[in-house]
Amino acid sequence: MRFYTGQGDNGQTALFGSGDRIPKTDPRFEALGALDELNSYLGVCKSLADGDNIKSALENAQENLFIIQAELGGAKNMALAEDKTKNLEKTIDEFGGFVGQITKFTIPGGNPLSARLDYARALARKAERRVASVKEKISPASLAYLNRLSSLLFVLARYVNKKTGVAEVHPRYALTAAPTL
């Protein structure tokens, strides 16, 4: 069985269900690539998670990212349901209840999983920016979901540090008073 076609060797490819050849440098492919990178890295985080609640939250996010990728890739009748963002907000609130109010920025690190979740948060923000650059090709529900996803990853990183007893470090800014959120 072959796992390649060779059809993209000239720097062009087609979106799902389309026979039109499009340059691989098209902004949609940048967005799709950023979503793929994020989804793959969420798999790394999920593989390192001890708690089923974290694994479940990450796997749910991965499933929703596949829907967003399909929508952006041109799949017919494929769009993220608006209730997915509401469900994500509930998950953020559940983990956030354990973490408590956050008033300062946090230097990524601490627990190894927390550090990776912070990196995933940065990837989520990058993916959101890339998708926003082609927002006419995607639903508002998908854009809202991507915006909330980085909040989930931020809260999960704080959750993991707190759950494992790792004290978080806040930037000092070399000033007399640190900015607060």
* pLDDT string in tens for the chain (181-residue length): 888 788 778 888 777 766 678 888 889 999 999 999 999 999 999 999 998 999 999 999 999 999 999 999 888 888 899 999 999 999 999 999 999 988 888 999 989 999 999 999 999 999 999 999 999 999 999 999 999 999 999 999 999 999 999 999 989 887 656 666 6
Give the pLDDT score at 147: 97
Q: Cβ distance 128 to 151 under 8 Å?
A: no
Smallest CA-to-CA distance from 56 within 16, 87, 33 is with: 87
Specify the pTM: 0.89
Tell me the H-state helices in the chain.
27-48, 52-72, 83-99, 112-132, 140-163
Give the pLDDT score at 17: 67
Q: Cβ distance 95 to 156 under 8 Å?
A: yes
Give the pLDDT score at 78: 85
Give the pLDDT score at 172: 86
Q: Vertex 158, ends 115 and 32: CA angle to 5°?
A: 60
Sign of CA dihedral 138, 142, 144, 148: negative
CATH no. for 23-161 = 1.20.1200.10
- Output the CA–CA distances (angstroms, integers) from residue 17 to 74, 75, 134, in the order listed: 7, 7, 19
